Structure 1
Amino acid sequence: MPTMTEARLICEGRVEDQLEAPATAEFTDGTASGTPSGYTITGSVDAENSFGALVRSEWTCSIRYDESSEEWRGGASLAGS
């Protein structure tokens, strides 16, 4: 069964996909709730923008594990995106 830790890592990857400089991303602890069938995770990420300035963004991710396809479904959104 998928764990909350696995869900958080998947969500962080989906957040990184939306950043200008994903290699600079540093995630802070957030909150997570749910069950193995679905999670909602929120947090903050510090990352450089296109000008090289460090910016903090809040993010939310709703994700669920589809056992039939063995894939995570859902996505993440950054505040202001």
Structure 2
Amino acid sequence: MRTIGWYYDAREPTIAQYWDGTKFLRTKQLVDVGLEPLYDMQTGQQFPDYDRPTGAVQVFNEWKRSELREAARRQAAGEPPPRIRRKGLGCFPIVALIVIGFTLFGACSPSSASGSAAGAEAVCQQFIETRLKSPASAEFSSTDVVELGDTYKVTAVVDAQNSFGAMMRSSWTCRVIWNDASEKYTLDLLEQR
């Protein structure tokens, strides 16, 4: 079904006809109704578009006309088509991975010679996240750290999505031991209460 509006005349590409919804009524020059001739992208030849209403043709003409002429000129000169450059994320993903890596590994292996409560908390959060169905949705709250020499007991409440996407709250207890020789934490206990 055609939309009411001006259409190109099938017999003459410089004439437009008005469709009122039942029949074509008037004919005018393309310039008089605000239409411009269309060009075939492959050949660069002018051609009418019989089924496209005025509004769509005008939008098409405004942004495509210069590109069509340039494509026709390139083809006539035997030049290859221009290479399309896709806009991507650039180096953002690499920088983001480096920052995340430093953040995670910095928390797992503190630069000091002994463990810390903050380091133990970060390591326990990582251990807990490995047990969750959706680690990315984990939100830690009510975290408590108790230090006993080189041993750290961390209790935390975690809100995370289950297999069905519903947020579930669970309580966890984690106990890690700082090893001076390897400068890493070792998991001693991890349980869900």
Alignment TM-score, normalising by the size of structure 1: 0.89
Alpha-carbon distance between aligned partners in 1 of 2:143 and 2:182, rounded to the nearest angstrom: 28
> RMSD over aligned Cα, in angstroms?
1.2
Q: Percent identity?
A: 33
Higher mean Cα deviation, 35-44 or 49-58? Answer: 35-44
Counterparts of 1:63 and 1:10 in 2: how far apart (Å)? 8
Moved over 4 A (4+): none
Alpha-carbon separation, structure 2, partners of 1:21 and 1:10: 18
Equivalenced residue count is: 79
Q: What CA distance in whole angstroms lies between the structure 2 residues aligned with 1:77 and 1:3? A: 21
1:2 matched to which residue of 2?
115
Is 1:59 the counterpart of 2:192? The answer is no
Secondary structure of the residue that 2:131 maps to in structure 1?
A: coil
Q: Could you give the per-residue CA deviations for residues 4-59 of structure 1, whole angstroms, max 9, x where no partner exists?
A: 00100000000000000000000002221114511101010000000000000000
Which amino acid letter does the alignment assign opposite residue 2 of structure 1?
A: G
| Cα deviation, residue 2, structure 1 | 1.4
Q: Distance in 1 between matches of 2:117 and 2:150?
A: 10
1:23 equivalent in structure 2: 136
Aligned amino acid, residue 44 of structure 1: V
Q: Distance in 1 between matches of 2:127 and 2:140?
A: 12
> Structure 2: 5+ residue runs without aligned partners?
1-113
Moved more, 23-32 or 8-17: 23-32
**1:46–1:55 CA contact under 8 A, matched in 2:** yes
- Specify which structure has the bigger relative contact order, considering alpha-carbon pairs within 8 angstroms and separated by 6 or more residues: 1
Q: Which of 115, 126, 142 in structure 2 is aligned with 1:13?
A: 126
